[in-house]
Amino acid sequence: MSHTAHIRSHRKPRRSASNIAMRAGVASGVLGTLAVATAAGSANAAEPVTQTLELPVFTGDLAAQVAQSAQATQQAAANYQLEAERDAAAAAAAKEAKKDLAAAKKAEAKKKAEEARVAAAEAASRNAERTTLATSANGSSSTSTSTATGSAAAVIAFVKAQIGDAYVSGGTGPNSWDCSGLVQAAFRQVGIDLPRVSQDQSTRGTQVSLSNLQPGDILYWGSAGSAYHVAVYVGDGMFVGAQNPSTGVVERPLSYDPPTGAVRVL
């Protein structure tokens, strides 16, 4: 017997074949599970993820609404453009009107200044003639004081015969007269047909200066063509006329109511 037969061996006991096989099976199973999990993870990681987006589908109504909206936008833009053009035109017109108004005011001021100058000259001329008439009424004038003859004498005789008759607007005799009715009737006595109203009588015949009157001349008050009163000059600085409702037909000196002008038809 060996001297070592009673000494325990330090080697680990051999595992039985069945234990080894079982452990190998478990290990194999674990490794297999890990392999499957890894393969699955790799497969999931390698496969790309695809997401599907569904785009809206335009229906017929929605398309019509979009078209109408576009059309409305275009119309609004056109309206804005038209409004801008109108505003520009209005501003230009206002500017032009302002210029025209300024020019018109300037022309009107110039016209009024000229009218004032002419009126002042005419007033000075009338004042000079009236001074001459007043002097004539006092017996020292160049106005004719000769006795009327012929047609002038007949006219003067007629108007003097009506002194004292009433004044009636529109009167043409035989006992009431207005100023132009009396003058018309007087000249009708010598075959001269005068217009009916003062305005027209003041433009008949020839215009004569108040400083060169002759018996039978027609005197008028106002301007030629728009006279408001007429009478007949009878000589010696006197006239006869249907003056107004208060006086009727009267004879007065020229200084009583100096006339504006005179016409000669005889």
pLDDT in tens, 57-84: 555 677 777 778 888 888 888 888 888 8
Give the per-residue pLDDT at 153: 96
Count of residues in the chain: 266
Q: Counting Cβ atoms within 10 Å, is residue 70 exposed (0-12), middle (13-18) or buried (19+)?
A: exposed
- Percentage of residues of the chain with pLDDT beyond 90: 44
In the chain, domain spans: 136-264
CATH class, 136-264 region: alpha beta
Q: What is the pLDDT of residue 28?
A: 52
Task: Kindly report whether the global pTM for this prediction surpasses the value 0.85.
Answer: no
Mean pLDDT of the chain: 78
Q: Is the peptide bond before 174 cis (omega within 30 degrees of 0)?
A: yes
Digit-coded pLDDT (tens) for 170-191: 999 999 999 999 999 999 999 9
Contact predicate 133/254, CB 8 Å: yes
Give pLDDT, residue 129: 57
Highest mean pLDDT out of 2-11, 139-148, 196-205: 196-205
DSSP 255: G
